[in-house]
Chains A and B, each alone.
Chain A
Amino acid sequence: MSNQMEKRTLFSIIANEETTNSFLITGIGNINKKAEKNYFITTDTTSVDDIKNKFISFTKRDDIAIIIIAQNIADRIRHVIDAYDEIYPSIVEIPTKESKYKPQNDSLMKRAERILSGE
């Protein structure tokens, strides 16, 4: 288990251009040997399928530890994120300039709700 963990060192981000850029400036952007980027910039015209496929491909990679996703985009593939059950990579939903953070939409919060109310 720790060998796997040692390989997971990258962030990845799915957000609009502005947010993604802001994070890339801090130096988390990466293009690996297979020319795969660890970031995905969405626009108003990006389809739900594209977002979904990108998300799933990020979760399948073994070098990504954390996936940062803007909450408004997460809302568009909510069913996929709700069904996500793995421990790694971690999925962190962030607010953006357009969307304030809504805990009721966050998949993690919903999971917590389920657990605590099931006691």
Chain B
Amino acid sequence: MSGKDMISVFPSRMALTLMRGRLRGAQKGHSLLKKKSDALTIKFRGILKKIIETKTMMGDVMREAAFTMAEAKFAMGDFNNLVLQNTDKAQLKVKTKRDNVAGVNLPVFEAFHDGSDAYEYTGLARGGQQIDRIKKNFAKAVTLLIDLASLQSSFVILDEVIKVTNRRVNAIEHVIIPRIERTLSYIISELDEREREEFFRMKKLQGKKALARAAAERNRNTSEEQYGPAASLLDRERDEDLLFD
């Protein structure tokens, strides 16, 4: 990446106008991208805050849910194996929706139920209510988890996009605009130089013409003095060169 490179153009007034247009375009692009990057960064910080809040909240939800779990175990004994045996096809799944934020496609997860409730029959006499409560509590945790996952994915995507946008902003600011500006100053200096050359040449020509005219004048005057007026064929006087007249 040489520091002295510029766009190769033939320096002309047309090129000058075109270059000026390009400079304006690059500056506009730069400010737009900067705005986009700022907007995305603000959104990014907002998401980060929400993630921290949600995770802390989830800590509390999980603790409460774990408590109900302990209660149920106390009432029903260990039903872990029952749960494992009944696991076949998931009923609680996620759906992904896309949300457009400042030009970036962010995913949003949503829970949805797929099929019947397989744990219907784990509702045994006393334990039934407990299981129900556990299910509700942990379902709450799952909802929070879904929100968290959406936030986290958005977070990661935004991170990438912000990095790319900032790279482009820097590229425009430190490479493209200086290159155009260098080209512009080159064109302007070339045009100026050409004008000066033209001017100089014209002056020289004028000088030469004036000298030539002055010299011609002088020559005419000197020859008249030396030889008298020029001979003319129409003169009636006697011509000395004729021998027999």
Residues of A within 8 A of B (CB): 2, 5-6, 8-11, 17-19, 21-31, 37-39, 65-66, 68, 87-88, 90-97, 100-101, 103, 106, 108-109, 111-112, 115-116, 119
Residues of B within 8 A of A (CB): 41, 44-45, 48, 51-52, 55-56, 58-59, 62-63, 65-66, 69, 79-80, 83-84, 87-96, 98, 107, 109, 113-114, 117-119, 131, 134-135, 138-139, 141-142, 145-146, 148-150, 152-153, 155-157, 159, 162
Q: Which of A8, A10, A23, A95 contacts B59 (CB 8 A)?
A: A95
Q: For the complex, give the distance between the alpha carbons of A106 and B84 in Å.
A: 29
Which of B55, B80, B113 has the most chain A CB within a 10 Å cutoff?
A: B55
Q: Are B96 and A37 in contact (CB under 8 A)?
A: no
Q: For the complex, give the distance between the alpha carbons of A35 and B116 in Å.
A: 21
Q: For the complex, give the distance between the alpha carbons of A115 and B135 in Å.
A: 38
- When A27-B91, A66-B94, A101-B56 are in contact, do A21 and B83 touch as well, CB less than 8 Å? yes
Main secondary structure of the interface of A (DSSP, over half): mixed
- Residues in chain A near residue B80, CB distance under 8 A: 17-18, 21
- When A26-B139, A103-B52 are in contact, do A18 and B88 touch as well, CB less than 8 Å? no
- When A11-B94, A27-B90 are in contact, do A22 and B159 touch as well, CB less than 8 Å? no
Q: Are A27 and B117 in contact (CB under 8 A)?
A: yes
